[in-house]
Amino acid sequence: MYQSKWRIFTNHAILILGALFMIMPVWIAFSSSSYTPEYIFQNGLQFWPGAHFFDNYGAILFDPSATKGRVTALEMLFNSMVLGLGFAIGKVIISMMAAYAIVYFRFKLAVPIFWVIFSTLLLPLEVRIVPSYEVVAGLGLLNTYTGLILPLIASATGTFFFRQFYRSVPDELLEAARLDGAGPIRFFIDILVPLSVTMIAAIFIIMFVVGWNQYLWPLLMTTDDQLYTIVIGIKQVYNSLYEGGQIPQFPKAFALTIMATIPPVLVVVVFQRMFVKGLVETEK
């Protein structure tokens, strides 16, 4: 296709500016995380990395006092991992099963059940946050992984993704399977699940990132810092920055921010093709 020299030049200039716009804030946080608090306090944010990278990251990873609590960043990363994986696994399994029942079976309560599932899309957790908290507290699930993960799974986005996908699977498959004498459970495990592998992977990646990045719900749920996820941990560290008349520990707060960002970004970049396919095809 014809492109003028000027157009090619501006294309690159605009894209480079766009990339810088995205990267700059994270780069500055990264650079500034490798200085002493005194240096940052006196000289402001830094553009190039300094000499204290290993001191700062080592301290917050292994020393609980650096994160102003009883947990280290390593434990917070572990909690985030549990939340991300638990959320993704739970969501994929539950919604695959529910979508299977809705698409492949004729049963009495199919219509009301479909509407109950649909209604969860209307009301995100954010709008029913206070009563949800009370229910979870009533069940004695505050400060547990179960209480952290299950309410987040209650929204049915995944079910709709799989419903859409199953509907695109040719009917002939089911006819053939039935001729061969396969029952519903056999058909699901031996044919449908293996057929959905790419779909499962794509949804799993998206859900892992969504789970890792949860904020409001973990913030309310976890009063015990043993269960802090890294996203919650950063907020606590930022909140305590100006306490006690000491020099604010900005570099450590930045280091924590960087560590919260790296895992989901890596997942998205490494599995980019699958992730983009999943995002674009399921949300439509």
Partner 1 sequence: MKRVQFEHSAVPYLFVAPQILIISIFFLWPAAQALYQSFLLEDAFGMSSQFVWFRNFEDVLSSSSWSRSAIFTVVFSVLVSVLSIAISLFLAVRADEVIRGAKSYKTLLMWGYAIAPPVAGLLGNMLFNPLMGDLYFAFNSFGFEFNHIENANDAAFVVILIAVWKQVSVNFIFFLSGLQGIPKSVQEAATLDCKSPERRFWTITFPLLAPTTFFLLVINLTYAFFETFGIIDVSTKGAPGGSTATLVYKVYVDGFLGADMGGSAAQSVLLMIMVSILTVFQFRFIERKVHY
Query: Please, which of residues 16-45 interact with partner 1 by CB under 8 A?
Result: 18-19, 21-23, 25-26, 28-29, 32, 40-41, 44-45
* Residue 3: burial class (beta carbons within 10 Å; 0-12, 13-18, 19+): exposed
Q: Which of 35, 161, 212, 228 binds partner 1 (CB under 8 A)?
A: 212
Q: Which of 161, 204, 228, 250 binds partner 1 (CB under 8 A)?
A: 250
Asked if 249 contacts 263 with a C-beta cutoff of 8 angstroms, the reply is: no
Least separation in angstroms between residue 28's CB and partner 1 is: 7
The smaller minimum CB distance to partner 1, of residues 59 and 153, is found at: 153
User: CA-CA-CA-CA torsion for 16, 19, 259, 211, nearest 10 degrees?
Assistant: -160
The smaller minimum CB distance to partner 1, of residues 39 and 53, is found at: 39
The smaller minimum CB distance to partner 1, of residues 51 and 280, is found at: 280
- Residue numbers 122-161 binding partner 1 by CB under 8 A: 122-124, 126-136, 139, 150-151, 153-156, 159
Contact letters (x/-) for partner 1, 255-284, by CB under 8 A? Answer: --x--xx--xx-xxx--x---x--xx--xx
CB count in 10 Å sphere of residue 132? 18
Residues 6+ apart with CB under 8 A from 115: none
Q: Does 247 bind partner 1 (CB under 8 A)?
A: no
Residue type for position 181: G
Nearest residue to 63 (alpha-carbon basis) of 72, 74, 76: 72
Size of the site for partner 1 (CB under 8 A): 104
Go through 137-164 and write b for each residue having 16 or more CB atoms within 10 A of its CB, e for each that does not: eeeebbbbeebbbbbbbebbbbbbbbbe
Contact letters (x/-) for partner 1, 167-196, by CB under 8 A? Answer: x---x--xx--x-----xx--x--------
